[in-house]
């Protein structure tokens, strides 16, 4: 069972010997034969002037972290199936490849090795590119791109300027997530459980002036347009995006604030609530302790207490603060708000359970019907007033708030109404009194895009003392990265390394010509990957961001393939970019990916492969041991594409065995090219055409693993026919074997190509035409009908396939066994007939 002992690991035969070795399946020789051929012939180049119907099949492009690994092997084997299938079905297929080549690892490697990030990056890209070529992805290499190329990031900067011009890229001061280890800010999406997604360091808050994309302006469209993706994207990805956007509808309510003893006027405070129906249950108001609002509201007598409270909070980490069991804390601000409907005086408190950056940073306290408010009220001795009768016990006694449905009580303006009707009426009342209105709030925040790191696209903005923030004119793009920084000069210092390149920073203002400074931050690398699928349309065009005419022809992407780890970040950002680019008038669609497939992970022994577990499997070793085709076949066959593949559960040696078995069939075909399959044995022909018909459905349904199972059956059937049936000269055997090569080419291109050549056909099998199913071969003359009595199988019956319901029923009822059961059951009550396959006799 050890890999090393597997016979598929036979070293390559010297070239030129394969003619003599045709009875031996020699993986290395077959790979060596076809790889250069495809490259020379440009077999997979997508033509612009080809007017056949088009398909754009895209794998999420890789980050160049070292060589390819098992995860790449799975993803790209799976992504190649729809691409190759479309090609066989006669589509003009675009299946490009490139690299997402900006990012932190390159920079860290550069610091460590006293080098420039570009050196590490492009070396890794070269390594991966040659591995990809060997892996025989049917990619169009002429469109290869790297996001770290000037020719690419120039247009990333151009897009930034378009966003900026429309007010969608802006700067603001805000507390932001800060990773102390990477010394850079992070987007909300990059903070997982309070820690940096990349390095795991606990994230702190820092108040900084940063660049943002106004993705929240697109929140509704991002949410609502998911309807058109339903059924074509995995449901869980859509669910994750819905969660992330977190739209909640409710009302904003304005509370006037009672002037303090010192007489100073205070602005009204607006709060957001999803439960305006509980308005009569409000007994207090709480503002976020860390919000400016708290400072504005606190009276002089209580200012000291607020400051002490804030100081105390500073020592509490985010993770601790979010723990559910924490006691409610807070301070009274010495101030009262006026209830907009009752005129009651409501004490205003500050607490850390209210978030400063959601809604308005203030909430109305409804302790009877909100658990958090109830806990706070109990801790502070505040009133609890029940205004919804849910039929549950009094929250005051149980300590459990009743958040469910029920009739409104103690609510004069909507007494007795159920939740929905009460909410509706409450919003009306608020509007009539001019104290509130229906409002929508989102969990989604604007996308923080600036990074204080080197290896990214510089933000094309110049800061001028007289003109302020000035965009770099488009004809001066790209703003190139300075090339004289390397090694230690790139180490994180809490501000961008670009700031150290003084001659780079010093520039003149594009507007007034005076002395000015460049913005020293670079863009989040997710910006780069938010539009690369468009750049693939015209990667060498230096006159425009992408060819808008080509976009009409190719976009949107018909099939996007990638890991579920990008469910929120990349996919949400790419959708956002597409909508903005749509609004810029460059494209006429507003969703980039019509269909999405998530492939699973590759595990080993039930766990993700990792260095610390020591369970890593080296892709190169697997390829050397079993061959590219066997590894690809194993990946596809192991499970449905979206499921994880556990390398400990699968058998690449079994795959290699199957490939050899399939390949040998081609050796045994002795009929000439072009013989009429109609002259061949009928049984095998029926199996063949049934397989083709089924494979068509299986590709559409993305059940790629089952394709392999069907192919194995076909191979078994051909073997049987050759050895114990009509023999290798039968035309049906040739037809079946040719089709085997075609189906196999979806997954194991080398073996398939070689079979195709051995069969005497012109390469490439990848561009051959998909077999036409002969429908007449799919229908049997006779079928087996099952006969049930009360749903239990009691007998079987061979009948003509076109039997009528009446005849089938008569035949079934005439069966002696059935008569026996019918008699025992007390006679026929009803007969269900589904001709020609089933009869169910109901007795009694």
Query: Which residue, 350 or 545, has its beta carbon nearer to RNA?
Result: 350
Query: Which residue, 672 or 778, has its beta carbon nearer to RNA?
Result: 778
CA distance 493 to 510: 29
Structure tokens at 46: 């997508």
Q: Does 811 bind RNA (CB under 7 A)?
A: no
Query: Which residue, 130 or 716, has its beta carbon nearer to RNA?
Result: 716
Cis ω on the peptide bond leading into residue 764 (within 30° of 0)?
Answer: yes
Structure tokens at 764: 């490439």
Closest CA to 498 of 542, 463, 539: 463
Closest contact distance (angstroms) between CB of 540 and RNA is: 38
Query: Which residue, 248 or 507, has its beta carbon nearer to RNA?
Result: 248
Rg of the chain in Å (alpha carbons): 34
Query: Which residue, 277 or 521, has its beta carbon nearer to RNA?
Result: 277
Pick from 18, 417, 486, 837 the residue near RNA by CB under 7 A. Answer: 837
Q: Is the dihedral of CA 408, 414, 418, 422 positive or negative?
A: negative
Contacts (CB under 7 A) with RNA, residues 106-165 = none
Q: Stretches 64-72, 391-399, 570-578, 655-663: which one binds RNA (CB under 7 A)?
A: 655-663
Is residue 826 classed exposed, middle or buried when 0-12, 13-18 and 19+ CB atoms within 10 A define those classes? exposed
Pick from 140, 277, 290, 352 the residue near RNA by CB under 7 A. Answer: 352
Contacts (CB under 7 A) with RNA, residues 368-407 = 370, 372
Closest contact distance (angstroms) between CB of 626 and RNA is: 13
Contacts (CB under 7 A) with RNA, residues 562-621 = 564, 567-568
Q: Does 353 bind RNA (CB under 7 A)?
A: yes
Q: Stretches 30-38, 293-301, 755-763, 834-842: which one binds RNA (CB under 7 A)?
A: 834-842
- Between the alpha carbon of residue 117 and those of residues 258, 332, 453, the distances in Å are 60, 54, 12
CA distance 472 to 621: 49
Pick from 127, 390, 639, 767 the residue near RNA by CB under 7 A. Answer: 639
Query: Which residue, 456 or 771, has its beta carbon nearer to RNA?
Result: 771
Pairing label, strands 461-464, 515-518 = antiparallel
Contacts (CB under 7 A) with RNA, residues 481-540 = none
Query: Which residue, 229 or 364, has its beta carbon nearer to RNA?
Result: 364
Reported as type and span, the H/E element at residue 95 is none
Pick from 7, 312, 410, 670 the residue near RNA by CB under 7 A. Answer: 7
Closest CA to 229 of 543, 560, 679: 560
Closest CA to 159 of 391, 421, 474: 474
Query: Which residue, 326 or 552, has its beta carbon nearer to RNA?
Result: 326
Pick from 274, 615, 667, 767 the residue near RNA by CB under 7 A. Answer: 274
Closest CA to 636 of 705, 560, 709: 705
Query: Which residue, 156 or 622, has its beta carbon nearer to RNA?
Result: 622
CB 591 within 8 Å of CB 556: yes
Closest contact distance (angstroms) between CB of 195 and RNA is: 12
Closest contact distance (angstroms) between CB of 499 and RNA is: 32
Q: Does 272 bind RNA (CB under 7 A)?
A: yes
Q: How far is CA 797 from the centre of its chain?
A: 50
Please report the DSSP string for 627-675 in residue order.
Answer: -HHHHHHHHHHSS-TTS-EEGGG--HHHHHHHHHHHHHHHHH--SPTT-
Contacts (CB under 7 A) with RNA, residues 185-244 = 192, 235-236, 239-240, 243-244
3-state secondary structure of 145: strand
CA distance 402 to 81: 53
The contacts found for 795-802 with CB under 8 angstroms, 24 or more apart, are 797/839, 799/836, 800/836, 801/836, 802/836
Reported as type and span, the H/E element at residue 439 is strand 436-441
Buried b (16+ CB within 10 A) or exposed e, 605-637: eeeebeeeeebebebeebbbbbbbbbbbbbbbb
Pick from 105, 563, 616, 640 the residue near RNA by CB under 7 A. Answer: 640
Closest contact distance (angstroms) between CB of 355 and RNA is: 4
Q: Does 71 bind RNA (CB under 7 A)?
A: no
Q: Roughly what angle, to the nearest 10 degrees, separates helices 749-758 and 628-637?
A: 120
Look at the chain and count its residues: 844
Query: Which residue, 52 or 829, has its beta carbon nearer to RNA?
Result: 829
Classify 345 in phi/psi space as left (phi over 0), alpha (psi -120 to 50) or beta.
beta
Classify 115 in phi/psi space as left (phi over 0), alpha (psi -120 to 50) or beta.
beta
Contacts (CB under 7 A) with RNA, residues 661-720 = 661, 697, 703, 705-706, 708-710, 712-713, 716, 719-720
CB 788 within 8 Å of CB 842: no
Query: Which residue, 33 or 661, has its beta carbon nearer to RNA?
Result: 661
Contacts (CB under 7 A) with RNA, residues 454-483 = none
CB 765 within 8 Å of CB 772: no
Contacts (CB under 7 A) with RNA, residues 277-336 = 288, 321-322, 324, 326
Residue 432: Cβ within 10 Å count: 10
Q: Does 753 bind RNA (CB under 7 A)?
A: no
Structure tokens at 38: 């495809």
Closest contact distance (angstroms) between CB of 825 and RNA is: 11
Closest contact distance (angstroms) between CB of 573 and RNA is: 14
Closest contact distance (angstroms) between CB of 239 and RNA is: 4
Query: Which residue, 463 or 837, has its beta carbon nearer to RNA?
Result: 837
Contacts (CB under 7 A) with RNA, residues 766-795 = 784, 786, 788, 790-791, 793
Q: Stretches 470-478, 634-642, 750-758, 810-818: which one binds RNA (CB under 7 A)?
A: 634-642
Closest contact distance (angstroms) between CB of 423 and RNA is: 11
- Between the alpha carbon of residue 552 and those of residues 633, 709, 816, the distances in Å are 35, 38, 68
Query: Which residue, 705 or 751, has its beta carbon nearer to RNA?
Result: 705
Query: Which residue, 89 or 443, has its beta carbon nearer to RNA?
Result: 443
Size of residue set near RNA by CB under 7 A: 81
Query: What phi and psi, each to the nearest 5 degrees, are found at residue 661?
Result: -65, -40
Query: Which residue, 47 or 355, has its beta carbon nearer to RNA?
Result: 355
Contacts (CB under 7 A) with RNA, residues 421-450 = 441, 443
Closest contact distance (angstroms) between CB of 651 and RNA is: 4
Q: Does 81 bind RNA (CB under 7 A)?
A: no
Closest contact distance (angstroms) between CB of 642 and RNA is: 8
Q: Stretches 93-101, 210-218, 366-374, 818-826: which one binds RNA (CB under 7 A)?
A: 366-374
């Amino acid at each position: 069972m050890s890999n090393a002992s597997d016979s598929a690991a036979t070293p390559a035969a010297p070239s030129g010997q394969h003619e003599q070795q045709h009875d031996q399946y020699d993986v290395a020789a077959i790979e060596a034969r076809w790889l250069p051929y495809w490259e020379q012939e440009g077999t997979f180049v997508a033509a612009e002037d080809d007017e056949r119907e088009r398909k754009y099949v895209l794998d999420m492009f890789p980050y160049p972290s070292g060589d390819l690994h098992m995860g790449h092997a799975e993803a790209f084997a799976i992504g190649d199936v729809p691409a190759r299938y479309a090609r066989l079905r006669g589509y003009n297929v675009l299946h490009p490849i490139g690299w997402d080549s900006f990012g932190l690892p390159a920079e860290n490697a550069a610091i460590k090795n006293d080098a420039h990030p570009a050196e590490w990056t492009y070396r890794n890209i070269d390594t991966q590119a040659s591995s990809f070529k060997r892996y025989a992805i049917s990619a169009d290499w002429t469109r290869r791109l790297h996001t770290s190329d000037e020719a690419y990031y120039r247009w990333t900067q151009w897009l930034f300027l378009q966003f900026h011009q429309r007010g969608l890229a802006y700067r603001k001061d805000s507390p932001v997530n800060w990773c102390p280890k990477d010394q850079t800010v992070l987007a909300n999406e990059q903070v997982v459980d309070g820690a940096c997604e990349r390095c795991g360091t606990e994230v702190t808050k820092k108040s900084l002036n940063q660049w943002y994309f106004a993705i929240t302006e697109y929140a509704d469209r991002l949410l609502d347009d998911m309807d058109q993706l339903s059924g074509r994207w995995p449901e869980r990805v859509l669910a994750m995006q819905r969660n992330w956007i977190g739209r909640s509808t409710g009302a904003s309510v304005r509370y006037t604030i009672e002037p303090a003893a010192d007489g100073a006027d205070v602005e009204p405070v607006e709060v957001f609530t999803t439960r305006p129906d509980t308005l009569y249950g409000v007994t207090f108001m709480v503002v976020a302790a860390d919000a400016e609002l708290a400072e504005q509201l606190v009276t002089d007598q209580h200012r000291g207490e607020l400051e002490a409270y804030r100081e105390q909070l500073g020592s509490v980490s985010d993770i601790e603060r979010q723990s559910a069991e924490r006691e409610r804390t807070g301070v009274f601000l010495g101030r009262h708000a006026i209830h907009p409907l009752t005129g009651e005086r409501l004490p205003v408190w500050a607490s850390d359970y209210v978030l400063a950056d959601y809604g308005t940073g203030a909430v109305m306290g409804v302790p009877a019907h909100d658990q958090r408010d109830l806990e706070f009220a109990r801790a502070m001795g505040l009133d609890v007033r029940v205004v919804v009768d849910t039929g549950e016990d009094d929250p005051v006694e149980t300590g459990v708030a009743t958040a469910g449905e029920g009739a409104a009580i103690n609510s004069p303006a909507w007494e007795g109404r159920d939740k929905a009707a009460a909410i509706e009426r409450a919003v009306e009342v608020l509007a009539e009194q001019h104290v509130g209105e229906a409002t929508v709030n989102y969990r989604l925040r604007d996308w923080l895009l600036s990074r204080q790191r080197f290896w990214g696209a510089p933000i094309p903005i110049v800061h001028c003392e007289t003109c302020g923030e000035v965009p770099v004119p488009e004809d001066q793009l790209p703003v190139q990265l300075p090339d004289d920084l390397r090694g230690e000069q790139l180490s994180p210092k809490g501000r961008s390394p670009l700031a150290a390149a003084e001659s780079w920073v010093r520039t003149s203002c594009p507007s007034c010509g005076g002395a000015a400074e460049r913005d020293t931050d670079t863009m989040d690398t997710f910006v780069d990957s938010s539009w690369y699928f468009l750049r693939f349309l015209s990667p060498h065009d230096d006159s425009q961001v992408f060819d808008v005419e080509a976009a009409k022809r190719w976009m949107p992407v018909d099939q996007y393939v990638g890991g579920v780890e990008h469910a929120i970040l990349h996919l949400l950002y790419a959708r956002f970019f597409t909508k903005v680019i749509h609004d810029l008038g460059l494209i006429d669609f507003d969703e980039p990916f019509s269909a999405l497939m998530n492939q699973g992970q590759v595990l080993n022994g039930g766990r993700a492969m990792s260095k610390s577990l020591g369970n890593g499997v080296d892709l190169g070793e697997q390829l050397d041991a079993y061959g590219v085709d066997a590894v690809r076949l194993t990946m596809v066959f192991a499970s449905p594409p979206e499921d994880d593949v556990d390398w400990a559960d699968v058998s690449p040696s079994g795959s290699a065995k199957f490939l050899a078995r399939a390949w040998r069939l081609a050796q045994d075909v002795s009929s000439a090219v072009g013989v009429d399959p109609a002259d061949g044995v009928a049984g095998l022909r029926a199996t063949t055409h049934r397989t083709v018909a089924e494979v068509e459905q299986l590709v559409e349904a993305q059940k790629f693993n089952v394709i392999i199972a069907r192919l194995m059956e076909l191979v078994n059937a051909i073997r049987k026919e050759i050895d114990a049936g009509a023999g290798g000269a039968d035309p049906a055997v040739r037809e079946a074997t040719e089709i085997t090569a075609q189906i196999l080419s979806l997954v194991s291109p080398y073996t398939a190509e070689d079979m195709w050549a051995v069969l005497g056909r012109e390469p490439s099998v990848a561009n051959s035409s998909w077999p036409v199913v002969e429908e007449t071969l799919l229908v049997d003359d006779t079928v087996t009908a099952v006969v049930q009595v009360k749903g239990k199988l009691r007998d079987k019956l061979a009948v003509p396939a076109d039997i009528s319901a009446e005849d089938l029923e008569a035949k079934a009822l005439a069966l002696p066994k059935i008569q026996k059961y019918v008699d025992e059951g007390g006679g026929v009550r009803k007969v269900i007939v589904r001709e020609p396959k089933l009869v169910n006799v109901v007795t009694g």
